[in-house]
Amino acid sequence: MMFLTEMRHPQAGWTAQLSSETAFAPALELFEGPERYRLTVELPGVDPASVELTLTDGELTLKGSKPASTVEGEGTWHLRETSWGEFERTFTFPTPVAADGVQAQSRHGVLTVTVAKAPEAISRKIPISFTE
């Protein structure tokens, strides 16, 4: 079964889509600064080599998979609160972003992605010249 959830935040101007074939959906934070966005994704138990990150037409897509835990030998699960499976998240930014301004780093099960805003999307002060 495929789940697709779209989250819209009109006041912020961005859209995020979540699709997953299982209950696994990584927790994340999306922060906007004056010059860039920062996405922090919790991926414990996920091999960083199995994660794919793409930026196409202002949409950032994160895909990957988390394997199910296994136990050797016979037995019965009495409690299993972990989730696993394939996941995909897509984010549409409210302002233009720089395709060559994307950096990603994975450390201790946390993926941090920074996406620079395109120069035309960065607010700047305009000097006013005064004449008499």
Cα–Cα distance measured from residue 25 to residue 23, given in angstroms and rounded to the nearest whole number: 6
pTM assigned to the model: 0.74
| Phi/psi at 50 (5° precision) | -90, 5
pLDDT tens across 10-56, in order? 555 555 555 544 467 889 999 999 999 999 999 988 998 899 999 99
* Three-state secondary-structure class, residue 60: strand
pLDDT tens across 79-112, in order? 877 788 888 988 888 889 999 999 999 999 999 9
